[in-house]
Chains A and B, each alone.
Chain A
Amino acid sequence: MICLPTPDAAILERRASIVHALRALVAQGNVIEDELRLAAYETDALTAYRQRPLAVVLPETTAEVAAILAFADREGVNVVPRGAGTSLSGGAIPAADAIVVALGKFNRILDVDYANRCVVAQCGVTNLAISHAVAGEGFYYAPDPSSQIACTIGGNVAENSGGVHCLKYGLTTNNVLGVEFVTPQGEIVRFGGKHLDAGHYDLLGLTVGSEGLIGIVTEVTVRILRRPQTARALLIGFQSIESAGACVAAIIGNGIIPAGMEMMDRPAIAAAEAFVKVGYPLDVEALLIVELDGPAVEVDYLIERVSEIATQNAAAGIRVSASERERLAFWAGRKAAFPAVGRLSPDYYCMDGTIPRRELPRVLREIDSMQARYGLRVANVFHAGDGNLHPLILYDANVPGETDKAEAFGFDILKLCVDVGGVLTGEHGVGLEKRDLMTYQFEPVDLEVQHRVKHAFDPSVRFNPGKVFPTLRRCAEQGREHVHSGAERFAHLPRF
């Protein structure tokens, strides 16, 4: 059970006057205070936790954001920034004494600049909309988090979002050139632009991945790339996790960085195949999807090389996509892995640790033995190229105590990731979810240094309270209210 911060009673009492003041700062109808409409903002994709905020404000311009933040600073009111609310780590979950600054009205692409190979978009533009805006000219924006049809570019910046292609093309931070940023004091500033690197401290680099703790990003400049001419994939089965892991290491050892390299274990394969029926082999312990992109001559050459490497590493079966349709079919099962696992069980809990790849067999063995201890099953999907592991813990929230058990199991897995030399989160962020585990990965002095960075921007600690850093506040037992998968938020979003 993760505690939400105890609200400041004095702020709660001033709710009416705060709402009144906010109304003067934005256009009519852009302050939400009624319980019914606030309900839409009470959680994100970490749906086990819910909290209604003091109010939600929907600014339409950067000047309005600045005015809201200056007001909140003057009045000592907490602020929770929000994009599409698709965070899997609770990054956008409100606090009871905070105003949510929801940026959905920042939905315009401001500049498509092919000469400088970049796009300038307001923060509420969806990740996929950027690629759509430049698709006609053959370009795209490379980072592709699985929620890309809904998640916003501003949220991607806050979380430093990844995606299945980030081994080759980098995370958000490697693809963002600049931001317009509003400080917690309501000052507007630009970090970066259409040029590369910083002339002084890299405040842009610090902003990316800061999880809404140091300010609000209102506009983002991203670099765009030409879409690769072709992509093909291999589907490779293995009789052991060890040989699949050895194959991945050998592919990279041969100097090949695939566009995507995904692994699934036996339970994940079975769940996916039962769900989408794309012809995954059911008699293997591990399945690897390797995607190669680029000019046809390169892709054809590398398909051969990877096939040879797989054969040398005891592959139990190799299929090569012969058409775009077949390539997409290979992916369909992997991309449906989360909902497929969701069919096996009323609820599942998705974890997100990163490990050194060599530790995969050991980590999976230990997760296996934990299953017996917790009496819960796990299916594993793995971004094999970069060591980012997504164990999916199956549980039933209707069974008393099982939610807590699933959470404890998940935390044990993340601690295991740290124990083998990895980290708590590869792409979902710390947020609310992993906040209390930060002391497991970091020493007090490391967290103190991070706190000081936060204080350099937000000295009164009002931005996104209760996230990322453990606090000593008393636990108010409010907040968690489980909703079954049937009523899940963003049930339509692919998650992988």
Chain B
Amino acid sequence: MVQDSERAVLRPRDAADLAEIVAGARGPLEPVGGGSKRAIGRPVEADLLDLGELGGIVAYEPAELVVTARAATPLAALDAELSAHAQRLAFEPPDFGALLGTSGEQTIGGVLATNLAGSRRVAAGAARDHFIGFNAVSGRGERFKAGGKVVKNVTGYDLPKLIAGSWGTLAVLTDVTLRVTPMAELDRTLVFTSATPAASVAILSAALGSPHDVSAAGFDPALGSLLRIEGFAPSVAARADALCGELSATPVGVFDGAASRQLWHVHASAVALAAIPFVWRISVPPADAPAVLDKLRPQRYLLDWGGGLIWAGFDAFDAANVRAAFGSGHATLIKAPAAERAAAVVFQPQPSVAAAASARLKAAFDPRGILNPGRMG
């Protein structure tokens, strides 16, 4: 395996410089923002394309619910600017630093390129749902744009959706525009005792199917079933009470404000699995989760998205067992030592028709196959 110290590091000053570098590249490139998620996916043997110079917020108008930033803007800086105006990214990006044992700082471009979302995914959508436009450089080294800077737009193909979750294999983002939402006045998390995943999913499902706008629904066997209600203070209190009544259950814990936010950040970032060497992130129909867990038998697990997201940690590597445990859905190996990742099928294999379409899209954006080759294998 090639060490970072042996790789060339290319550091574009701006988008034009980046386009020139990509167009002139004679070998593979690995685009890197803060480097926080480099340990996910198949290791790539390539020159490093360090995008650190492409940072900074370009335009932010709170009343328009839209922000445009350069791709390598640190997520923390963006979050700080948004919270100064009582707004936020609704999809609640997780932070896998603790899980992966990495120290890199997340950038907004990296968050979008990997389409990761936290616990509010179940109510508010993923990164893809808030990503409304971008400027980028394709693998051909051409600068192009797609989407727009307004929240409602159906002009042309929805390329932000395609780029979200493409892990830097199609294009290198330079500027991104996101939809933002107002911060909730109050958030409250209710903790209920659940003896089994099946008992928990029953509670989570009832809560998500209630009219009380539950914005997160998870299960940590060490804590219990977790339900969050957010919004204007009088409404939160009324909905939380009504929900407990409908579930005929009394919470064993109630967390408000910062404590609630911290609880969900830790949960969505799978910090509980940090000591486990092999960690999978599995998306399934929520009601399937208990049966899938029965087959998986992980060392440690967490549920999120009402059961629709399973975090499963194992001491040993067994991809065949993991992918045989569910019918519809997908599993990504989020954490494993580099040698195992190099040999594993990290991302969910696609059916042949979809795989062929994906390969043609890859060839359309990056015909020389120089952007993160093999990363999504």
Contact = CB atoms under 8 A, between A and B. Distances in A.
State whether these chains interact: yes
Given A196-B305, A203-B358, A446-B146, 4 more contacts: A196-B308, A201-B162, A301-B235, A387-B151
Nearest to A451: B364
Interface of B: 61-66, 86, 115, 117, 121-122, 125-126, 128-129, 138, 142-146, 148-159, 161-162, 164-166, 170, 181-185, 205, 208-213, 231-232, 234-235, 238-239, 242, 283-287, 305, 308-309, 328-332, 347-348, 350-351, 353-355, 357-358, 360-361, 363-365, 376
B47 to A, nearest CB: 24
B220 to A, nearest CB: 19
- The list of the 3 closest CB pairs from A to B, nearest first, reads A199-B330, A205-B161, A199-B348
12 contacts: A113-B285, A117-B286, A201-B170, A202-B115, A202-B165, A227-B211, A255-B182, A255-B183, A425-B153, A429-B154, A443-B144, A453-B361
B353 A174 contact: no
B329 A255 contact: no
Residue among B154, B165, B184, B232 with the highest chain A CB neighbour number at 10 A? B154
A441 B125 CA distance: 28
A166 B179 CA distance: 13
A228 interface: yes
A427 B153 CA distance: 7
A464 to B, nearest CB: 13
B212 A295 contact: yes
Interface string A333-352: 00000000000000000000
Nearest to B156: A450
Nearest to A226: B211
A438 B156 contact: yes
A289 B238 CA distance: 26
B128 A205 contact: yes
A213 to B, nearest CB: 8
B150 A255 contact: no
Contacts of B62: 252-253
A160 B158 contact: yes
Given A356-B64, A386-B151, A195 B156 contact: no
A256 B235 contact: no
Contacts of B284: 195
Interface residues of A, number: 94
A426 B152 contact: yes
A191 interface: yes
A246 to B, nearest CB: 9
Interface string A421-462: 111111111100010001001110111111011111100000
B238 A115 contact: no
A170 B286 CA distance: 21
A355 interface: yes
A252 B305 CA distance: 27
A354 B148 CA distance: 10
A183 interface: yes
B238 A197 contact: no
B238 A159 contact: no
Given A356-B64, A452-B364, A456-B357, A210 B146 contact: no
Nearest to A420: B150
B144 A193 contact: no
B162 A423 contact: no
Interface string A250-269: 10111111000000000000
A138 interface: yes
Nearest to B145: A446
Contacts of B165: 197-198, 200-202
A445 B138 CA distance: 11
B107 to A, nearest CB: 20
A204 B209 CA distance: 24
Contacts of A383: 152
A187 interface: yes
Residue among A201, A302, A422, A423 with the highest chain B CB neighbour number at 10 A? A201
Contact of A198 (B183, B212, B232, B330): B330
Nearest to B363: A456
A425 B209 CA distance: 34
Contacts of A257: 181-182
A365 B189 CA distance: 48
Contacts of B129: 170, 173-174
Nearest to B166: A201
A298 B152 contact: no
A28 to B, nearest CB: 30
Contacts of B363: 456
Nearest to A256: B182
Residue among A166, A198, A358 with the highest chain B CB neighbour number at 10 A? A198
Contact of A441 (B155, B157, B239): B155
B90 to A, nearest CB: 10
Nearest to A300: B234
A207 to B, nearest CB: 9
Given A196-B121, A200-B376, A425 B155 contact: yes
A468 interface: yes
B145 A442 contact: yes
Given A194-B328, A199-B331, A456-B360, A189 B351 contact: yes
A200 B350 contact: yes
Given A196-B283, A205-B161, A166 B238 contact: no
A449 B144 contact: yes
A17 interface: no
B126 A449 contact: no
Nearest to B135: A446
B164 A202 contact: yes
A205 to B, nearest CB: 3
Contacts of B351: 189-190
Given A116-B285, A206-B161, A456 B211 contact: no
Given A205-B158, A298-B238, A452 B365 contact: yes
Contacts of A208: 158, 161
Contacts of B360: 455-457
B125 A170 contact: yes
A455 B61 CA distance: 37
B209 A195 contact: no
B350 A199 contact: yes
A172 B242 CA distance: 30
A357 interface: yes
A116 B327 CA distance: 15
A237 interface: no
